[in-house]
Amino acid sequence: MKHGDAQYIAARDAMAEILLERARNRDWPIEYGKLSELLAELGHNVPAHSVEMDHLLADVSRQESSDGTKAMLSAMVVLKDKRAPGAGFYRLAREEFGRKGDNVTVWGEETKRLTRDFGQG
């Protein structure tokens, strides 16, 4: 799978559907491993802690909030041991989405946005 090819786009769209449904149902957080399993069930091989997973999560966040005003769906995805997002989430939040504060603040504010933007149903 290469960034932007048909296989990548199909995996991105499947990931977006999974995360949007879980956001609407307030069924989060979800561990990287579980997200990887759900994608595999749909025919997409995306290892939990891979560059592909990082790129897909970033692209799904960009796709659902192209102007940065909506919640980053990647905020829902957490490391099993830490029960918090990985470093890539915080880097994306600060560098591309303009989020400010320490990691606890950035993630806390993003979870509020998730509820506001997707969890009203």
Q: Where are the domains of the chain?
A: 6-118
**In a 10 Å sphere around its CB, with 0-12 CB exposed, 13-18 middle and 19+ buried, how is residue 93 labelled?**
buried
Nearest alpha-carbon partner for 48 in 27, 30, 29, 64: 30
Q: What is the pLDDT of residue 18?
A: 98
- In one-letter notation, the amino acid at residue 101 is G
Question: Which residue type is seen at 12?
Answer: R
Per-residue pLDDT of the chain (121 residues; tens, 9 = 90+): 788 799 999 999 999 999 999 999 999 999 999 999 999 999 999 999 999 999 999 999 999 998 999 999 999 999 999 999 999 999 999 999 999 999 999 999 999 999 999 876 5
**Residue 103 three-state SS:** helix
> Structure pTM?
0.94
Q: Which pLDDT value is given to residue 92?
A: 97
